[in-house]
Amino acid sequence: MTYDYDDTNIFARILRGEIPNKTVLETDHTLAFEDIRPQAPVHVLVIPKGRYVSYDHFAREAGAEEIVDFVRTVGEVCRITGVALDGGQGCRTISNAGAHGVQEVPHMHVHVLGGRVLGRMLEPAD
């Protein structure tokens, strides 16, 4: 089985510079930017620059350098936004995938959410 990546997805367009974003941090392999519809006072999306659909795709096919860069960038976003536990009050990092994960944008991303108590992790499904 292979993963199908759609180059027209909105994060691919952000990476190509076709639409603007509010960048929090950029590295060689990773971009972090503010979510356009924030669900908490801190809501940052962290995406690899490579063409990966989901976390499982990224974990399987990305190189070690990309993976280390991504994980470190998530940590750095936590520090920059003040939610890291070395002084902050914590956060939630989540990655939705596919239909059951209710993924809206089919480019691998991690949400960093914080700045308030976030409640339980899952609401009951409708």
Site for ligand AMP in 69-108 (CB under 6 A): 96, 102-105
Residues 6+ apart with CB under 8 A from 110: 45, 46, 47, 55, 74, 93, 94, 95
Q: Clarify whether 109 is annotated catalytic.
A: yes
* H-run or E-run covering 114: strand 110-114
CB of 107 to ligand AMP, least distance (A): 8
Kindly state whether residue 9 participates in binding ligand AMP, applying the rule CB under 6 A.
Answer: no
Is 10 among the residues that bind ligand AMP (CB under 6 A)?
Answer: yes
CB 10 within 8 A of CB 52: no
Shortest Å, Cβ 10 to ligand AMP: 5
Number of H helices, E strands in the chain: 3, 5
Q: Which residues are at the interface with ligand AMP (CB under 6 A)?
A: 10, 19, 21, 35-37, 45, 96, 102-105
| Residues known to be catalytic | 109
